[in-house]
Amino acid sequence: MRLLVSLSGLGPGAPLAAAVDCCDALDARRVPLTLLVGPRPHPEVAAFAVARRRAGDAVLLRGFRSVHDDARPYRRLPVLEARLRLAGATRSAEALGLEPDGFAAPGWSVSDGTRRALTEAGLGVLLDDTGLHRLGAGGVPTAGVAGPVVRPGDPAPTWFGLARARRRAGEPALRHLTVDVGAGVEALVAAVDLALADGAVPAVPATLVGPAQRPRPRAGGAVDPELWSTTA
């Protein structure tokens, strides 16, 4: 069983202070984070994400317009519109020196057209409601690891029972624990400790389905990782 921990709700000011607390707690447990960063991020958020990426965390783009996007359009978005939206979102992030490792689906679901656009843009790693996927030609999943989205407070017996059933069946299994930074570090740490006690092995997307296959040129952007150092 692999454990992927994703953190959303990042923003300047207080949310980033809470994110640093989460990073400190997980660094002490040697658990990497997958940061879900919305398009057009604030420069402070981009600098934080770049620094955490250098420390071993992953960064996934969440949405094309805002982290508060309605999830429904993503389930029916045609490929042409997805291409246009994705181009604007990635340019905004890369202008701040942040190149995402993949895409996290808002509402955890996207259309076939969105998958195709992601592959064309070099974002061939998709995190959705069924698990983590490597997208091939035309946006068709070619590899991945399956597992439901779990939030702190979800019933543990159901969650762990599902995990054990998958292990007995010999299927690859992922425990995707996701939390909004506003939920606080206590709920996150409790859920992570429970997963570790159950034998889950922490991971980031690149260790599960491989790194990006089509790296794009990095945009310039000055960041100071020391501003966002956490546990030494």
Residue 178 has what DSSP assignment?
Answer: E
Matching residue, tokens 């994705």: 86
Query: Model confidence over 30-72: pLDDT tens digits?
Result: 999 999 998 888 999 999 999 999 999 999 999 886 545 555 6
b (16+ CB within 10 A) / e for 51-84: bbbebebbbbbbbbeebebeeebbeebebeebbe
pLDDT higher for 107 or 118?
118
Nearest to 73 by CA among 25, 14, 114, 19: 114
Residue 81 domain-assigned (yes or no): yes
Residue 217 domain-assigned (yes or no): no
Structural domain that includes position 120: 2-210
Residue 232 domain-assigned (yes or no): no
Number of domains the chain is built from: 1
Alpha-helical regions (H) of 60-214: 79-94, 112-120, 156-169, 185-197, 205-209
b (16+ CB within 10 A) / e for 114-123: bbbbbbbbbb
Residue 227 domain-assigned (yes or no): no
CATH number of the domain bearing residue 149 = 3.20.20.370
Residue 61 domain-assigned (yes or no): yes
Query: Model confidence over 137-165: pLDDT tens digits?
Result: 899 989 899 988 888 866 554 445 555 54
Residue 57 domain-assigned (yes or no): yes
pLDDT of residue 105: 87
pLDDT of residue 72: 60
Residue 51 domain-assigned (yes or no): yes
Residue 219 domain-assigned (yes or no): no
pLDDT of residue 34: 96
Residue 169, C-beta contacts closer than 8 angstroms, at least 6 positions apart:
none
